[in-house]
Copies of this chain bind each other. A is one copy, B any other.
C-alpha cells in the first residue's frame, strides 16, 4: 500500500499524458473486449504498451486486480454520471428519462470495449470484487427503475426493472453495430428507439 503511487487510483481520467498505469488499463480494456479477459495473456497486455509481461506487476497486484479496477471504474462512472444527470434534470420524469438515455448512449458509443468487458467478464472476478461491482450496478439500475417507475405509475417495480435491463440491452448493442452509421445518426436512432421502448 505504501509503495503504491498515491494518485491515479482516483477516478479522473488523466487525458493528456496518461501514466503507465493508465496506458495499461486502456490497452487491457481493448484486448479484453476483443478476445475476452481469460484469453488475453499478461504478455499480450505488456506488448500492447511496449513492455514485457511481468512489468505489469510493477503497477498491479495481479491480472485479476487489473480487471477488478477496470470494472469498478466503469460501474462507478455510470452510477455517478447517472445520478448526476437525473439530479440536474428537474422534476419531469420524461426529461429525466431523456437525459439518462442520452448519457447511456454517449457512454456506449464512446466506450464499446468497456461495455463488452463489463457484462462478459464479470464472472472471472473474485467473489468479493464481483459483489462490489454488482452493488454498484444495482444502484445504477435503481436510478433507472426510479425514473421508469415515475413514468409508469401503475407498473410494479419488477416490471420497471425488466424494462431497465431491456433498455440497457438495446443501447449496449453498440459493440455489435459499431461504425455502421455516423455517430450523430447512430446516437439519434438509439435514443429514439430507447425512448420509444421505455415509454411504451
Contact = CB atoms under 8 A, between A and B. Distances in A.
Interface of A: 34-36, 38-39, 119-121, 123-124, 158-159, 161-163, 165-173, 176-177, 180-181, 185-186, 189-190, 192-200
A33 B123 CA distance: 10
A200 B190 contact: no
A173 B180 contact: no
Nearest to A194: B197
A196 B200 contact: yes
26 contacts: A35-B123, A36-B38, A36-B121, A36-B123, A39-B123, A158-B181, A159-B185, A159-B189, A162-B177, A162-B180, A162-B181, A162-B186, A162-B190, A165-B173, A166-B170, A166-B173, A166-B177, A166-B193, A167-B193, A168-B173, A193-B200, A194-B197, A196-B196, A196-B199, A196-B200, A197-B197
A98 to B, nearest CB: 14
Contact of A170 (B123, B186, B189, B197): B197
B189 A161 contact: no
Q: Please give me the 6 A-B residue pairs with the lowest Cβ-Cβ distance, nearest first.
A: A169-B173, A196-B200, A169-B169, A197-B197, A170-B170, A193-B197
| Most chain B C-beta atoms within 10 Å of own C-beta, residue among A120, A162, A172, A185 | A162
Nearest to A173: B169
Contacts of A162: 173, 177, 180-181, 186, 189-190
A169 B176 contact: yes
Contact of A169 (B159, B170, B196): B170
Contacts of A168: 173, 176
Nearest to A196: B200
A39 B39 contact: no
